[in-house]
Amino acid sequence: MTEAKKDAPWLFRTYAGHSTAKASNALYRTNLAKGQTGLSVAFDLPTQTGYDSDHELSRGEVGKVGVPVNHLGDMRALFDQIPLEQMNTSMTINATAPWLLALYIAVAEEQGADVSKLQGTVQNDIIKEYLSRGTYICPPKPSLRMITDVAAYTQKHLPKWNPMNVCSYHLQEAGATPEQELAFALATACAVLDDLKGKVAPEDFPNMVGRISFFVNAGIRFVTEMCKMRAFVDLWDEILLDRYGITDAKYRRFRYGVQVNSLGLTEQQPENNVYRILIEMLAVTLSKKARARAVQLPAWNEALGLPRPWDQQWSLRMQQILAYETDLLEYGDLFDGNPAVDAKVAALKQGAREELAQIDAMGGAVASIEYMKGRLVEANAERIARIEGNETVVVGVNRWTEAAPSPLTAGDGAIMVVDEAAERDQIERLTQWRATRDEAAVKAALTTLREACADGRNVMPASIAAAKAGATTGEWGATVRAAFGQYRGPTGVSKNRSNRTEGLDPIREAVSAVSSRLGRQLKFLVGKPGLDGHSNGAEQIAARARDCGMDIHYDGIRLTPAEIVAAAAEQEAHVVGLSILSGSHLPLIAETMERMKAAGLGDIPVVVGGIIPEDDAAKLRAMGVAAIYTPKDFELNRIMLDIVALVDPTPVAAE
């Protein structure tokens, strides 16, 4: 009896990068030696948003959520002893995708690689950045242009490269329903394809369509998530055939990679996250028809802080066990013909089509950014309300909360901490790089880039030339900002109260009473200092405060401490709330508190939210922070009452 022929497994990736290019390179080579079959590069926030490591906004953010790459020397160090011609590299980069791809090409050429053989992906999806992640630089239209510039360039020069990874991952993290996740991602893809049609020859367009891939999220509702992926397959095929006339079925394949849900990882009883990650991985691997091409899994302790190499190894082993120890890959699709699955897929497709029709009627994805953002904020508010009301059970959070202490989180070193010296080291090497390069060559290359932006030429050749000349990430970013302008995306937080009233009446009464004693409406300023674009928490706090009757001021992401303090003075805020999830809370909040005192605002209570270890929380309290909230504090109504108590000029004495 012959053994059944197995399908090839998906690519095993670990999303990784931290501190410095040299440290990240060592991590990559270790992971490859452990059996990882592709690289997935995480860049730090300054790199993602087009700033050098020594920029004012970069303070505290260097090397925190990924690797800093300021110039060709950093990219060279990042891939030292890793032959790029043989590697499949995914770079999770959006606004600066043209620049990072230019650096990658330059390093590959230095290695002697045949650039036409390079394989990998740049995410290069700016639209979801306006909706959910916040690392945009320019307004939507020029951003769309740069997306398709990258795609058109790869068509000619990097035929095996995926020039765009339409990313619905962060949409789900921002609260999207499955129907919204389907529709918003597909609308983004349509916007890109519509623009790309004018940049490639008609005979090359089908092949170009076939290079577009997706990056999705898989949540805990296993059946729904698996059906969502089958719906994605069907809808993409339908759109490409009907809207774009792609007749060759191979170009209509829905190609996607996945990172399973990080939104649902809990700070409480974090060991339970191992089971969550496994179940979520099954949703994107069990159905052959809708199986991911690449899978990367979060570590069980990401809600606590930066995972260690061992934690990432544990997630990698989960994939290897499923692929190599089980018989999954020996069978066809396990769900074909299942009536429950077919019905759910049909319902999801119908809901997505209705949402797509609404977006099309508004002029497409770019024209609908404000609409989509508002929909996401509202959907996320409903999700949180279901958890608060115990309608959605989260084990260890709102049910079965009593548990023995986890030995996995005990002792020093339970999470990885980025060495504070790494930022200084990075800045010193950046300074040295600038001092030893040919300034005239850099200036000429950046002038050419600015001209290309202005006259409509593809930005890739000029970006590659600038990379080789020694330009920096911040200089590339400043050039495109000068050419296209800066942009501040919609917050999605309406000034109008929502219809949600459950549990709010007592809080509204308390807000009204305190406002009377203050002599005006309680003013709550919500701020996002630094480059962290994860704004979901800040949006939900602002929206709930609004619904409770507070006068809110929320300007969105990417503010300096100086700007936040100036706004607190101008708005005459009674309380300031700061949200930071990138791990840069200590330096940014220290600066904010110092500036508050210097401005005579030291008596205004400051509350802070983020992924904050207890040791850091103690340091923040010592700085004068009045209250600290982490992901375990999911009851927003309790937070609202805390805020009222903080600003009440005549607190009620304890009985």
Residue 52 pLDDT greater than 60, yes or no: yes
Q: Mean pLDDT across the stretch 130-150?
A: 94
| pLDDT recorded at residue 415 | 63
Give the CATH number of domain 11-389: 3.20.20.240
d(C-alpha 127, C-alpha 111), whole Å: 34
Which residues, 6+ apart, have CB-to-CB distance to 266 below 8 Å? Answer: 272, 273, 303, 394, 396, 397, 631, 632
Q: What is the pLDDT of residues 354-397, one digit of tens each?
A: 999 999 999 999 999 999 999 999 999 999 999 999 999 999 99
| pLDDT recorded at residue 622 | 97
d(C-alpha 528, C-alpha 542), whole Å: 12
Lowest mean pLDDT across 29-38, 206-215, 378-387: 29-38
Residue 419 pLDDT greater than 80, yes or no: no
d(C-alpha 372, C-alpha 376), whole Å: 6
In the chain, the N- to C-terminal Cα span, in Å, equals 81
Q: At 459, list the tokens.
A: 């930005």
Residue 654 pLDDT greater than 60, yes or no: no
Lowest mean pLDDT across 4-8, 270-274, 512-516, 568-572: 4-8
Q: At 394, list the tokens.
A: 């989260």
607 backbone dihedrals φ, ψ, rounded to 5°: -115, 150
Q: Mean pLDDT across the stretch 552-574?
A: 96
Q: At 548, list the tokens.
A: 């409770």
Q: Strand pairing partners for 108? A: none
Residue 409 pLDDT greater than 90, yes or no: no
Q: Are 301 and 270 in contact (CB under 8 A)?
A: yes
| pLDDT recorded at residue 35 | 77
Q: At 252, list the tokens.
A: 């209509």
Which residues, 6+ apart, have CB-to-CB distance to 220 below 8 Å? Answer: 261, 264, 276, 279, 280
- Residue ranges covered by each domain of the chain: 11-389, 420-484, 504-647
Q: At 608, list the tokens.
A: 């802070």
Residue 40 pLDDT greater than 90, yes or no: no
Q: Which residue has the higher pLDDT, 25 or 442?
A: 442
Q: At 58, list the tokens.
A: 């970069």
DSSP string, 476-497: HHHHHHHHH----------SS-
Q: Mean pLDDT across the stretch 259-283?
A: 92
> Is 3.40.50.280 the CATH number for 504-647?
yes
- Looking at the chain, the whole-number percentage of residues with pLDDT higher than 90 is 75
Q: Provide the pLDDT confidence category of residue 603 given band limits of 50, 70 and 90.
A: very high
Q: Are 609 and 244 in contact (CB under 8 A)?
A: no
Residue 655 pLDDT greater than 60, yes or no: no
d(C-alpha 150, C-alpha 162), whole Å: 10
Q: Mean pLDDT across the stretch 613-639?
A: 94
Residue 353 pLDDT greater than 90, yes or no: yes
Q: Mean pLDDT across the stretch 175-188?
A: 96
Residue 2 pLDDT greater than 70, yes or no: no
| pLDDT recorded at residue 652 | 53
| pLDDT recorded at residue 418 | 62
Q: Give the CA count within 13 Å in the CB-facing half-sphere of 83.
A: 6
Q: What is the pLDDT of residues 465-508, one digit of tens each?
A: 999 999 999 999 999 999 999 898 888 898 888 877 788 999 99
| pLDDT recorded at residue 1 | 43
In terms of DSSP H, where are the helices of 519-584?
536-547, 561-571
Whole-structure pTM value: 0.89
Q: Mean pLDDT across the stretch 184-206?
A: 95
| pLDDT recorded at residue 36 | 72
Using alpha carbons only, what angle is made at residue 355 by residues 171 and 393, rounded to the nearest 5 degrees? Answer: 50
Q: What is the DSSP letter of 12?
A: E
d(C-alpha 179, C-alpha 353), whole Å: 8
Q: Provide the pLDDT confidence category of residue 405 given band limits of 50, 70 and 90.
A: confident
| pLDDT recorded at residue 10 | 83
Residues labelled as active-site residues: 15, 169-170, 528, 532, 534
From the CB of residue 361, how many other CB atoms can be counted at a distance below 10 Å?
10
Q: Are 57 and 46 in contact (CB under 8 A)?
A: yes
